Amino acid sequence: MSSTAAIGVSALFLVDLLDMFFLSLLGEQELAAAVGYAGTISFFTTSIGIGLSIALGALVARAIGAREIEKAKRQLINAAIITFVVALLTSVLVTLFIPELLALVGANGHTAELAASYLYILVPSLPVICLAMAFGGALRAVGDAKLSMWSTLAGGAVNAALDPLFIFVFGLGIEGAAAASVLARLTALVIAARGVFGKHQLWGGFQWQALRQDLPVIFAIAGPAMLTNVATPIGNAFVTRAVADFGDSYVAGWAVIGRLIPVTFGMIFALSGAIGPIVGQNFGACAYERLRESLTRALQFCTCYVVVMSLLLLLLKDWIVTLFAMAGQAAELIHFFCEFMAVFFLFNGALFIANATFNNLGKAKYSTVFNIGKATIGTIPFVWLGGQLGGVYGVLIGQALGSVLFGILGAMTAYRLVARVSAAGRVPPGSLLDEAGLVPVACAPLSSSRVSMALLAEEAEVADERRPDSQ
């Protein structure tokens, strides 16, 4: 689940890195800084979509685990509608205030103008990428991580092909990079939607009454999940603003780091998305013994992967600086990150895994508390004090120390929640109650970690034929 998702996720983030590379060839360091500022705002908008996709994936995974196929179809279409509406409203609101938002994160002058021209093209496509992420989450929820990967890979391929064409051949510069990203988002949406509604036949029709019925259930997960994911870019915006106080050269270096992190640690971002459906299906099937094991294996994998990639960054630091034509302060900041800071990402990964566990065990509010806490208590005082004591390098150290604190607390809380769920679930299947919000009403044991939609449909037909009232 993680490897297939990581390839797709890393492909999209790699294209963002290619954007930075192609724009650096134009010889204008302000472009790199502009992409850094624009990326902060773009990260904020797409984080809302990530929160909505978490709700869709969690609901579908839980229904699949409980063998409730019609419920999965109904909640998928209703969650997709909510995703589109919320994303559309967000894109309109953000587009209206792009100059003000850029000023808020420290952009000014020509750099701010370049960043705004990029965002005016990219932000209106927010509903497209949000739906693409939501349908990708649905594909992972039914065990088809490979098709979810191909949708993002195709989007990345389109972006990589169109970037040099729009930037250099058509001479569109940073606007060309944004246009290529929009077309890539459309490509990912088309492929993911065909997989959900074509291959897996998860179209169940739309009814207003069903939408009204599912609204509280959807927002019970989507609301906290959106707040959870928005908290991260808000914290990053504070860090960007802190770095901006030391000059655009450092911002250019920080922009490269910001693009480097998701490419290098794409597997960890994917791991948090992969562990959710696994936890959700086992929770729906009352396979409680698998919950703790899934959490432990995910944390072990996260630690090993981050250590290996941090060593790789250490070895490649000079090559990275040369590749993106960074010099002076920008190069020094990249060196510092690769040498000392990259390994601390394992604590971010621990919090990602904990949040996925919370969301799929009916405790999405826990994710909200931890992410908002990390973005505020775990970021602002640490970054401010670090900047005062250690300059721009102290900013990065402060951010890392905050992630250590909340990563450890998040993992500990996740283990406690799994223990509570397991204790509450040790009653005969079919007699479970949901009074505490921990145990699903009906359980069906899983015979495989991946659920076949065709098999589930066949089981449902057999069950209907055996019912007394069907004769």
pLDDT band of 32, cuts 50, 70, 90:
confident
**What is the radius of gyration, based on Cα positions, of the chain?**
22
Tell me the mean pLDDT in the region 262-282: 80
Instruction: At 219, list the tokens.
Output: 């927002």
- What are the pLDDT digits (tens) for 204-222? 777 888 788 888 888 877 8
Instruction: At 181, list the tokens.
Output: 């990203």
Tell me the mean pLDDT in the region 182-188: 92
Report pLDDT for 69.
Answer: 82
Report pLDDT for 29.
Answer: 67
CB 383 within 8 A of CB 242: yes
Tell me the mean pLDDT in the region 140-158: 85
Sign of the CA dihedral running 50, 51, 52, 55: positive
Element (H, E) at 331: helix 328-336
Instruction: At 252, list the tokens.
Output: 């250019």
By C-alpha distance, which of 79, 414, 51 is closest to 227? 51
The CA angle 335-104-30, to the nearest 5 degrees, is 45
Element (H, E) at 107: none
Distance, CA of 1 to CA of 14 (rounded, Å): 20
Which position has the token pair 């999940």? 225
Tell me the mean pLDDT in the region 74-83: 88
- The residue type at 439: V
Distance, CA of 118 to CA of 338 (rounded, Å): 28
pLDDT band of 192, cuts 50, 70, 90:
very high
Distance, CA of 19 to CA of 13 (rounded, Å): 10
Judged by DSSP in three states, 2 sits in helix
Tell me the mean pLDDT in the region 156-160: 87
b/e map of 201-219 (b: 16 or more CB within 10 Å)? ebebeeeeebbeebeeebb
Report pLDDT for 162.
Answer: 92
By C-alpha distance, which of 121, 154, 115, 139 is closest to 12? 154
Report pLDDT for 95.
Answer: 95
Position 328 pLDDT exceeds 80: yes
By C-alpha distance, which of 201, 470, 414, 199 is closest to 298? 414
End-to-end CA distance of the chain: 42
Query: What is the chain's mean pLDDT, rounded?
Result: 82
Instruction: At 167, list the tokens.
Output: 């930037």
- DSSP type of residue 362: T
Tell me the mean pLDDT in the region 349-354: 93
Q: What percent of the chain has pLDDT over 70?
A: 86
pLDDT band of 5, cuts 50, 70, 90:
low
Burial class, 157, CB count within 10 angstroms (exposed 0-12 / middle 13-18 / buried 19+)? middle
pLDDT band of 466, cuts 50, 70, 90:
very low
Position 92 pLDDT exceeds 80: yes
pLDDT band of 435, cuts 50, 70, 90:
very low
Task: Give residue 444's region: left, alpha or beta (phi > 0; psi -120 to 50).
Answer: beta
Instruction: At 196, list the tokens.
Output: 């959900």
- Per-residue DSSP letters for 274-308? HHHHHHHHHHHTT-THHHHHHHHHHHHHHHHHHHH
Using CA atoms, how far residue 390 sits from 60, 301, 384, 396, in Å, is: 47, 33, 10, 9
CB 253 within 8 A of CB 329: yes
Sign of the CA dihedral running 447, 453, 455, 458: positive
Torsion angles phi and psi, residue 409, rounded to 5: -65, -40
CB 88 within 8 A of CB 169: no
